[in-house]
Amino acid sequence: MIKKFAFSLMVLAALTACKNDKNVKDEVQDELSTEQAAPPAAPKEEAYQKATQVQELLGTYVTSNYPDKGIWKKVTMSYVAGDKVLVEITGNPLEDGRPSCAMRDIGTFKNGRIEIPIEKKEDMPDADRTLMLLQLKDKDNIALRSKGTREQYWIVLSLFCNVSTTLADNYRRIAE
């Protein structure tokens, strides 16, 4: 009788263990299927507006530090002809008289923004040859960036500056 009782306890323990293993297995499967079902978070992309005509982008824009709070930059866009725009960028003067940032080039109004090819500089790898983009954020603000990730365009657009900054920034329209 004791043998039967001991045997019954062993069978009951084995069944409970199997049942618990099955529950653990089921729980793990449920967790895995839940994790796989959840889509990966998409990187947040900044919203830009497409300008319908080049005149929407023309004017003078400045960074938030303008005119007297440390390093600031100013972008002036003037109509040339057809879809061509003169883009002039300058920054506050440094102690030695040089501007903190400077660039002057002709851009093309295309895809609702101004696009300027960035010419290859001596220390730029070929992969960094790209487009500078001036895009509307809203009617009075633009973003200046280039193609690529934020880190890539920060570096590429810093080549136009004489201090530790970059042209990549948000600019607000001012009356001049």
- Do 142 and 57 form a contact (C-beta atoms < 8 A)? yes
The mean pLDDT values, 10 residues at a time, for the chain of 176 residues are 50 47 47 42 60 93 90 95 95 92 94 84 57 90 82 77 90 91
Calculate Rg over the CA atoms of the chain.
Answer: 30
Q: State how far the Cα of 129 lies from the Cα of 97, in Å rounded to an integer.
A: 29
Burial 32-48 (b: 16+ CB within 10 A, else e): eeeeeeeeeeeeeeeeb
Delimit the domains of the chain by residue range: 1-38, 54-174
Alpha helices in 40-146 (DSSP H): none
* Cα-based distances in Å from 176 to 38, 53, 59, 77, 86: 51, 21, 8, 12, 16
The dihedrals phi and psi of 120, each to the nearest 5 degrees, come to -65, 125
Among all chains, which residue has been given the structure tokens 């280039």?
146
Give the model's pLDDT for residue 112.
Answer: 93
Which residues partner with 106 through β-bridges?
86
Give the model's pLDDT for residue 53.
Answer: 92
SS3 at position 7: helix
Among all chains, which residue has been given the structure tokens 């895995």?
32
Give the model's pLDDT for residue 131.
Answer: 81
DSSP 84-118: EEEEEEEE-B-TTS-BSBEEEEEEEEETTEEEEE-
Q: What is the dihedral of CA 62, 154, 107, 105, to 10 degrees?
A: 80
- With 0-12 CB in 10 A as exposed, 13-18 as middle and 19+ as buried, what is 123? exposed
Residue 143, token pair as written in the block = 């973003």
Give the model's pLDDT for residue 9.
Answer: 45
CATH class of 54-174: mainly beta
